Structure 1
Amino acid sequence: MEHSGGALGERVLLRRHPHWKMMLGPAVLTIMLTGIAGVIVGFLDARAPDGVRGIAILLVLALWALIVARRFVKPFVGWWRTALIVTSHRIAVREGLLRARGFDIPLQQVAGVRYRRGMLDRFAGTGTLLIAPIGEPPFEFAHVPEARLTHALIHHQVFGNQPVARPRRFLHAFRPR
């Protein structure tokens, strides 16, 4: 286990980034936009008048770059720079690259912890973790890989004496709990 940089003796028990499934939509959109931009550039290269061709192609490429930066690069950086960290003393969330932000919940301030998984979450092995600090509304951390195991670990750290669940395989997703 690694040291978290926090209190003396504090150990990082778990560090989770959101599941990569969050990037499927932006990746598919980027592929489609790249294909469309390629077709338009090919059409302009073959049919546009010589005086306009270079500028038109540059405009298409600039528009493509702006859309890709907004619809893929920005979500990718957000995904890459977001983490749920469980230590022996607290639960921490860290987000952002240029404007880094985060918050910590001491384990003794956790009133409850739950998880939620829909059908698609079960296929992907993810879920939403709900952590309720004492006297505050629950915090939701979506797209947690192995949400059930993460829930079990946090529950064990907060309430003790509860066995940590083992991962289930694909067909077990359909069995009642």
Structure 2
Amino acid sequence: MGYPDNVLAADENVVLHRHPHWKRLVGPVLVLLVTSAVAAFGAGYVSQTDWDPTARNVVLAVIGAVWLVIVGWLTLWPFLNWWTTHFVITDRRVMFRQGVLTRSGIDIPLARINSVEFRHGIVDRILRTGTLIIESASQDPLEFTDIPRVERVHALLYHEVFDTLGSEESPS
């Protein structure tokens, strides 16, 4: 049983489960490609030199270590953050969880949601992503960025909120 199934109540059902939009991974992928190209070029250059073999091996090890640190920090870490960030809508609540080593999260009962908004600019519209803004009864509005297909999520959440409340205003 994986997330989010392991945190649900007995008769609670997942309506939607999303990770942030893939656009968050574009920068880390570019860093991986550029860093790998620079490291490969540097290693190829050092391998062609007529340096002492021990010095050449030390420089190659330094290039490898620097590559590993940069890739781990600027590529692997953002990917793990993306993978461990969850936006979940159930038939009872909205859940948001994030974090690799230190987890944080928030649950918003559907009955406490006052309004649901979305916002996206031209690039977000092209990529079909955006920011979902949820205002609950007791808090300042919460903004969830890079939600894939934010308009559909907005409509789905709107329907779930009205279905939960059993309102006569519930859209058909």
Q: TM-score, normalised by structure 2?
A: 0.88
What pairs up with 1:15-164 in 2 under 5 angstroms? 15-47=17-49, 49-50=51-52, 51-160=54-163, 161-162=170-171
Q: Secondary structure at the match of 2:20?
A: coil
**Aligned counterparts of 1:111 and 1:48: Cα–Cα separation in 2:** 71
Percent sequence identity is: 34
Q: Secondary structure at the match of 2:34?
A: helix
1:9 to 2:18 alignment: no
- Structure 1 unaligned regions, length at least 5: 164-177
Deviation at 1:98, TM superposition (A): 2.6
* Per-residue CA distance 1:8-46 (angstroms, 9 max, x = gap): 421110001101111011101110111011111111111
Deviation at 1:120, TM superposition (A): 0.7
**Aligned counterparts of 2:50 and 2:35: Cα–Cα separation in 1:** 21
**Contact 1:4–1:12 at 8 Å: present in 2 too?**
no
Deviation at 1:85, TM superposition (A): 0.4
Amino acid aligned to 1:10: E
Amino acid aligned to 2:158: H
Instruction: Give the aligned length.
Output: 162
- Structure 2 unaligned regions, length at least 5: 164-169
Q: TM-score, normalised by structure 1?
A: 0.86
**Contact 1:110–1:131 at 8 Å: present in 2 too?**
yes
C-alpha distance 138-56 of structure 1, shift in aligned 2 (>3 A): same
**Contact 1:117–1:127 at 8 Å: present in 2 too?**
yes
